Structure 1
Amino acid sequence: MSIHSVKRSQCHLAWDNSIPPVLHVSSGDTISFDCLDASNGQITPSSTPSTLATLTISSLDQVNGPVHVASARPGDTLRVDVLDVQVAEWGWSALIPGFGLLADEYPAPALKIWSLLHSGEEGEEGYAWFDEERGIRIPLRPFAGEMGVAPGKEGAHSTIPPYATGGNVDTKHLTKGSTLYLPVEVEGALFSIGDGHAAQGDGEVCGTAIETPMKVTVRLTVIKDKPYVKTPHFTSRNAHPSGEEFYTTTGVDSDIREAARAAVRHMIEFLGAEYGLTKPDAYILCSVAGDLRMHEVVDMPNYVIGFMLPKSIFTKAKA
């Protein structure tokens, strides 16, 4: 299995299945991506709030790729193993006019430049001071906000919202060691990634995380036997303070209730396919053991709602 690389300059600003791939790989290959921050380099460590007034919005949220994966066909699933995520020594967060859950209440621009401190200890990601004098410290849990494959629908689709095929899912649990599953809609899948985050809360309520350039390494594998993956699914050990592993299904919709309903519906399908549960039994299990989470609520017009089920409830191996 080969190791490949994608440069910062190999990026695009729309999900579009007509964009030629920058790389062709085989299933099971590993790719390292060198990505600029979500501002596409428009914000730097020396930027001030006045910089936000000059942002070219159409250049935000670029993604690196696309990568064509041999043997991937519509109806397949692309497994994305996140092997490593390295962030820069700085990052930024902002209130960008028109963005965020409370955009109407916070119309003025604001910008915070962060110094990202790496601990140097094995297993420790480091931290950033929000306010050192007040003792407010943020642990770094880096991940890529954008991971997706090209949609089957023709034309250019903005990278700002999330879709059933992934994209700007902004889900904080997709850190190193997690595995993302994406539904393939076009030949080769055409995978892209970007939008480095050093830390973020569920929902990303103000519209930005700690945005940062990143180097991220993933392994891409084509799976033929998971037809129930119709939106992003993932496994992660970082979804809970206990470190317990969860399997998560998502719903992606412009109606937040419909997104939640879809997330539960997709978990019921997963439990039927993988554990042989009837739909009524799976539905009851979801209610007593699972958690609904708002993963992304600001990148309009779509929301991402996750349904997280702890894998520890399954005490026997699948038949």
Structure 2
Amino acid sequence: MCSNCDYTIHGRQHHFGWDNSIPPAEHVAPGSTLEFKCLDSGNGHFSRESMVADVSTLDFTKVNPVSGPIHVDGAKPGDALKVEILSFKPCGFGWTANIPGFGLLADQFKEPALALWTYDADTLAPALFGKHGKVPLKPFAGTIGLAPAEPGLHSVVPPRRVGGNLDIRDLAAGTTLYLPVEVEGALFSIGDTHAAQGDGEVCGTAIESAMDVVVRLDLVKDANLAMPRFTTPGPVTRHLDSDGYEVTTGIGSDLMEATRAAVCGMIDLLCATRGLSPEDAYMLCSVCADLRISEIVDQPNWVVSYYFPRVVFS
């Protein structure tokens, strides 16, 4: 338990999807510190004994549980919720899966695949992948957001103006996130915790891992934010930068097709140089390689680059 926290939100206090009619798990004053016992995005479906066949039995009505919601006293539409992300306590186990029909290259990777991860939750030493790979870890919450003003139940999968499934790796410990409030009380929820992810999360999953998250919630009155914004405490890629990168590119007039080409190029490169299967290369890219828009002004073609950290195989 968090000795310095005002509230603890337990794993059973979760919900699926965004709905501003869900009763709050807690009412808190601005400035309160809360510990969330977050479930993984599979809602505990996978274990250390899981097999690839378990991918096909995943219940998609029970994925991406988020803990909350939290009613912040005095929050009104037009305000911003200030979320200081203080710490993560991971569980030491995680999973990555290729889920048929999901992911950037779903048309190419049609069969299920599963990678299981065991890592040191105290030291966060790089997690082993196969015989030679070691993935640096950086815990963060993939889903972090507020209830939208529009009534009814909304899927937790797509990100929204009020946050949600943002999957921004840099929403890690020390970062401060600002979210636009659309409903009274803000109704904050958090979940989908990851031990590591590449920018893009191309196969649709990262190192999905249950963990405890501590945040402080405060208000910025009349902020009138159009979209979420955040501030990081320092460099954001230091855990990956030490040995440089292998980089593939995609070039074309369609940004999505250029992105697909860059990722396909990296999968081909890893298969050719590291002896990985295409499925393993795809999942490994999803947890540690970063997509970047390198050029978007020299029409009619744009450039997308895909950075794979060489430290993984050092």
Q: Structure 2: how far apart are the matches of 1:15 and 1:72?
A: 18
Q: Structure 2: how far apart are the matches of 1:137 and 1:242?
A: 12
Partner of 1:232: 228
Partner of 2:8: 5
Q: Deviation per CA, 1:15-67, whole angstroms, max 9, x where unpaired?
A: 00000101000000001000111001111111111001111111101100000
Partner of 2:308: none
Q: Secondary structure at the match of 1:154?
A: coil
Partner of 1:158: 155
The 3 A distance-change label for structure 1 pair 110 and 194 is same
Partner of 1:128: 127
Q: How does 1:65-104 map to 2 (within 5 A)?
A: 65-104=68-107
Match of 1:45 among 45, 48, 52: 48
Deviation of 1:12 (Å) = 0.4
Q: Structure 1: how far apart are the matches of 2:180 and 2:235?
A: 23
Deviation of 1:206 (Å) = 0.4
Q: Secondary structure at the match of 1:58?
A: coil
The 3 A distance-change label for structure 1 pair 24 and 238 is farther
Q: Secondary structure at the match of 1:85?
A: strand
Q: Deviation per CA, 1:149-196, whole angstroms, max 9, x where unpaired?
A: 000111110011110100000000000000111000000000000001
Q: Secondary structure at the match of 2:22?
A: coil
Letter in 1 for 2:21: S
User: How many residues in Structure 1 have an aligned counterpart in Structure 2?
Assistant: 242
Q: Structure 2: how far apart are the matches of 1:238 and 1:41?
A: 33
The 3 A distance-change label for structure 1 pair 2 and 213 is closer
Q: Deviation per CA, 1:105-157, whole angstroms, max 9, x where unpaired?
A: 0000000000112464xxxx3220113x32x2111100010100000111110
Partner of 2:108: 105
Partner of 2:202: 205
Deviation of 1:86 (Å) = 1.2
Q: Which moved more, 1:50-59 or 1:185-194?
A: 50-59
Instruction: Provide structure 1 residue ranges, at least 5 long, that are not aligned to the other structure.
Output: 244-254, 258-291, 295-319
Q: Secondary structure at the match of 2:202?
A: coil
Q: Deviation per CA, 1:282-317, whole angstroms, max 9, x where unpaired?
A: xxxxxxxxxx957xxxxxxxxxxxxxxxxxxxxxxx
Letter in 2 for 1:235: T
Q: Does 1:182 align with 2:179?
A: yes
Does structure 1 conserve the Cα–Cα contact (< 8 Å) formed by 2:6 and 2:34?
Answer: yes
Q: Structure 2: how far apart are the matches of 1:40 and 1:256?
A: 33
Letter in 1 for 2:196: A
Q: Structure 1: how far apart are the matches of 2:12 and 2:235?
A: 31
Q: Structure 2: how far apart are the matches of 1:200 and 1:215?
A: 18
Identity of aligned residues (%): 48
Q: Secondary structure at the match of 1:57?
A: coil
The 3 A distance-change label for structure 1 pair 170 and 105 is same
Letter in 2 for 1:8: G
Letter in 2 for 1:126: A
If the length of structure 1 is used for normalisation, what is the TM-score?
0.72
The 3 A distance-change label for structure 1 pair 52 and 242 is closer
Instruction: Provide structure 2 residue ranges, at least 5 long, that are not aligned to the other structure.
Output: 241-253, 257-290, 294-314
Deviation of 1:3 (Å) = 1.1
Partner of 1:261: none
Q: Deviation per CA, 1:258-283, whole angstroms, max 9, x where unpaired?
A: xxxxxxxxxxxxxxxxxxxxxxxxxx
Letter in 2 for 1:19: I
Backbone CA RMSD of aligned residues: 2.1
Q: Secondary structure at the match of 1:157?
A: coil
Partner of 1:59: 62
Q: Deviation per CA, 1:243-269, whole angstroms, max 9, x where unpaired?
A: 9xxxxxxxxxxx979xxxxxxxxxxxx
Does structure 2 conserve the Cα–Cα contact (< 8 Å) formed by 1:118 and 1:127?
Answer: no
Deviation of 1:242 (Å) = 9.4
Does structure 1 conserve the Cα–Cα contact (< 8 Å) formed by 2:78 and 2:222?
Answer: no
Letter in 1 for 2:13: Q
